[in-house]
Amino acid sequence: MKLSSIPSDDGFYMPGEFSPHRATVIIFPERPGSWGYGAAPAQRVFADIIREIARDELVYVLVSDGTGAKARTMLEGTDNIRILNIPSDDSWARDVAPTFVSDGITVRGVDWQFNAWGGEYDGLYAHWDRDNALASRFCELAGYDCYDAQHFVLEGGSIHSDGEGTLMVTESCLLSKGRNPQLTKAEIESTLCKYLGGKKVLWLPRGIHNDETNEHVDNVCAFIRPGEVVLAWTDNENDPQYPLSRADLDYLESVTDAKGRRIKIHKLPIPDVPVTITGHDLAGYTFEEGEDQREVGERLAASYVNFYFTNGAVLLPQFGGDNAASDARAVEIMKSLCSDRRIVPVDAREIIIGGGNIHCITQQIPAVQIKETSL
């Protein structure tokens, strides 16, 4: 059921991703301009990720008429998955699936407006109607009431929550001209707090260099528990990422969260060697008219912060090649910070060349008692 576009103060809030999940939403990939060579390499990685998440929680796998049979074949024998046919324009579930909020007993979705990361101003493809309709359709099929927030442009990757009233975003994204230019910063903050149960918004200045989402927060900084974050970092002052991460560090050191706590910051270094598009990568794409295109040598927004919590694990991006040492370093850092979970290294290069990473292709549903229709 679609609910009022302005929720009352009814106790619903966005839990932290590290809190227990009931399920995860993933969209099986197929877009030729994002996933090269018929999407086959990406589909193998997505299938591996789905199987790993299904060890800990239910996975909703969203497919189209074109991917349904392939997904069912690749995932045959995997328990704890539920396949739903819901059309989409691409596979970034973080940004187009609902954002889920809870009052501790019930879960509801929030259906933001999606405009392909900037609409006609600087969006990444020309048509996004199916993506924009996906959140509402998922809630309908899975039995979740849904707040209608279609008046407000937002992607799930542009927000983080600590589950205790603190929301975290980047100014570069939420104040971009392609999102909600008619609103002031204060009005944007008020809207976030209304829908997500926030008490305070932390506005990081920047994200990851060359992040085509206008620098989503989920690629540069993430809560690992209330009052504690990991921040993408580099010690190389000549790297274009350095001033961005430095600005975020300075900001985080100057603020407190909604509970009045100073933020404990852990640096999580980016890959030592930039991850770039190769000629082989480029040869596999088929771009549509109006779609953002890639170039050989283009630096991708590779970051280890784009990990995903499951109920028992941290799925951590790995980039391979010249970054073997960087990959291993990230694993050791996350092991020390999240000792209660298994750290699962995931070869994520096939995801990053699509434009995002593990966090970008997943969306969590909090674990509470809910009413769900029979599927």
Q: Which residues are the active-site residues?
A: 360
**Token digits of residue 228:** 């504690």
Closest CA to 303 of 351, 271, 335: 271
H or E stretch at 43: helix 40-53
From CA 51, how far away is CA 284, in angstroms rounded? 26
Closest CA to 334 of 349, 317, 357, 350: 317
Instruction: Specify the 3-state DSSP secondary structure of 37.
Output: helix
Closest CA to 204 of 256, 247, 266, 264: 247
From CA 218, how far away is CA 282, in angstroms rounded? 26
Closest CA to 36 of 275, 214, 278: 278
From CA 305, how far away is CA 219, in angstroms rounded? 5
From CA 245, how far away is CA 361, in angstroms rounded? 24
Tell how many helices (H) and how many strands (E) occur in the chain.
11, 17
Long-range contacts of 264-267 (CB under 8 A, 24+ apart): 264/227, 264/228, 264/229, 265/229, 265/230, 265/231, 266/224, 266/228, 266/229, 266/230, 266/231, 266/333, 266/337, 267/230, 267/231, 267/233
